Amino acid sequence: MSSTLFAILALPANTYAQEDIGVISVESTTIDDRFDNKRNEASNVSVISGDEVDSAHTQNIQQMLQSIPGITTEVQAGDSLKIHIRGIENQVYMGEKPGVAVVIDGVPVFERTGRVNIDMDNIESIKVIKGGASYLFGDDALSGAVIITTKRGAKYQGYTVGAEAGSFGYQKGLLRAGYSGENSNGHLQVSSREIDGYHDDSASKADYLNGKLQYYVSESSDLTFGMELSDRNKNSHGAVKGVVAAENDPESKDIESYNDYTNHYDVNLAKYYATYSKDFSKTDNLMVNVYSFGDDTQFLSRPDRTDPKLHTYLNDYQQVQNGLKTEYRSSGGGLAWMAAADLRENSYENNVSYNINVPDNPWIPGDQSATAGDPYSDDTTDESVQAAYGEVKFSVSDPLVVTINGRLDHIAYDYTSNISALELDKTFDVKSWRLGGNYALSKDKDLYGNVSTGFRAPSISQLFTGDISPTGSTDSNPDLEPEHAVNIELGYRTKTTLFGAPTEMDVAIFQIDRDDYIMKT
């Protein structure tokens, strides 16, 4: 079998040995989409343009991502969803991380619910990298990454007014004003989406205010400022289970049977960022990105045993993510490289109080009576990340380009309970890498392959759950190691014409092995 495979792979080498691979450059970036070229790419990559998103008139990003093989999504309500790649973490069900890094305008976006909220009216491009991607994005890129760039440029000058309506009470309104001058361009956009939903008590509403200003500092440099504010209200009531229930109660109006553990979400997000780009020559570029992302999420949890319309806890999660990233890239003489740094200072505040009066429960140790408004838990976790990453790409022969990536993350946690004064800390040093290559079979045909890694660092609650919740049934495990995933991939991509229309095809086979799998979340 191995000799047959070798013969299949060797045949194109004789046929296309003189294929010109063009200029070698580093397209990998965690900041924006200005370096977008699949040629010589060693991983499976898919790109959806903003024009495709706008013309599809979809209600949420799930309907766009369905066009990419290997991606599954879990939609809760409105624009909120979890993204999964290649089956990783499809089994998780609450606030766990999905194993996918999501980056919007260079900002690593992770909300406390494990989901992301994306404004469908403000997308310039969507890029999906499949396979372990921690070599670029760090923590939780076990199975890949989704990189979204929001609208920008002179093409949005003028005024735009739009409205849509659809089934189940779906309504959308949009107003955008933009300008373009000799030294700058920018736009400001206001939009609103709401839907009643099919299932009972599943309505959602989202209001957005976003804008971007791009200033041309010189002929070779520019500075971009961006912001997005959003206010989202949504509920989650759950869907029916089973054939009989689907026939008798398709809208899941039986609240006792289908009430979710958590619902009535009020999510306020604020994102601010600035990106500076400088071309020192045709082959040398520097990009610097600074950002701040705030998430204030409130929701109810644990339906009351006697009245499912009431909920025991009021949860108030507040987080602030501040960061700085810088990337320098250069190329020439059959060699291209990038050196980069990623610095993050994040703060997570969890405040859970009783939403109703609760009597003693003799069946649950430690579950004592409480009055509405009493604190249940109140803690703060500070997370610090210092990382260095880079890429080297070089031509072995005219049709073959080899790519090597590496990243080193230093992660530090500091936890403080504001009720018991408990203090905990933990640090990790984690290495990630990718080794891959791209063989140009012809001008429009490539054979590529790679071995890449992803990792997930244990959270404070996973490390010290016995200390944080001493009345629970799980002991602390401070010796937990970061979970690792190794992705092995072989693929083929081509551009052709099908029924008179330009068509791209990208086919890959892969295997993902996970080690030190963390069970308790």
Question: Is residue 115 very low, low, confident or very high in pLDDT (cuts 50, 70, 90)?
Answer: low
Contact 218, 249 (CB under 8 A): no
Sequential DSSP letters for 188-245: EEEEEEEE--SSTT--EEEEEEEEEEEEEEETTEEEEEEEEEEEEEE-------SHHH
User: In percent, how much of the chain has pLDDT > 90?
Assistant: 48
Question: Is residue 253 very low, low, confident or very high in pLDDT (cuts 50, 70, 90)?
Answer: confident
User: In percent, how much of the chain has pLDDT > 70?
Assistant: 86
15-29, 215-229, 416-430, 493-507: least confident range: 15-29
Interval 217-243: pLDDT, tens:
999 999 999 999 999 888 866 666 777
Average of pLDDT values for 242-264? 76
- pLDDT for the residue 393: 94
- pLDDT for the residue 385: 98
| Residues in the chain, overall count | 521
Cα separation, 325 vs 329, in Å, equals 13
160-174, 317-331, 379-393: least confident range: 160-174
Cα separation, 197 vs 207, in Å, equals 17
pLDDT at 457 over 80: yes
- pLDDT for the residue 498: 80
Largest CA distance in the chain: 79
Hey, how many other C-beta atoms are within 10 angstroms of the C-beta on 380?
15
- Of residues 291 and 62, more confidently modeled: 291
For 2-515, CATH number? 2.40.170.20
Most confident of 136-140, 428-432, 480-484: 428-432
- Of residues 248 and 471, more confidently modeled: 248
pLDDT at 298 over 60: yes
Cα separation, 427 vs 415, in Å, equals 12
- pLDDT for the residue 14: 35
pLDDT at 18 over 60: no
Q: Tell me the domain boundaries of the chain.
A: 2-515
What residues form DSSP beta bridges with 226? 212, 273
What is the SS3 assignment for 470? coil
Question: Is residue 92 very low, low, confident or very high in pLDDT (cuts 50, 70, 90)?
Answer: low
Cα separation, 503 vs 494, in Å, equals 8
Interval 141-158: pLDDT, tens:
998 998 888 887 777 889
Which pair of tokens denotes residue 148?
């979204």
Average of pLDDT values for 119-129? 86
Hey, how many other C-beta atoms are within 10 angstroms of the C-beta on 413?
21
Q: Which pTM does this prediction carry?
A: 0.86
Hey, how many other C-beta atoms are within 10 angstroms of the C-beta on 502?
8
Of residues 401, 258, 382, the one with CA closest to residue 320? 382
- Burial label for 388, CB within 10 Å (0-12, 13-18, 19+), is middle
Give me the chain's average pLDDT, please.
84
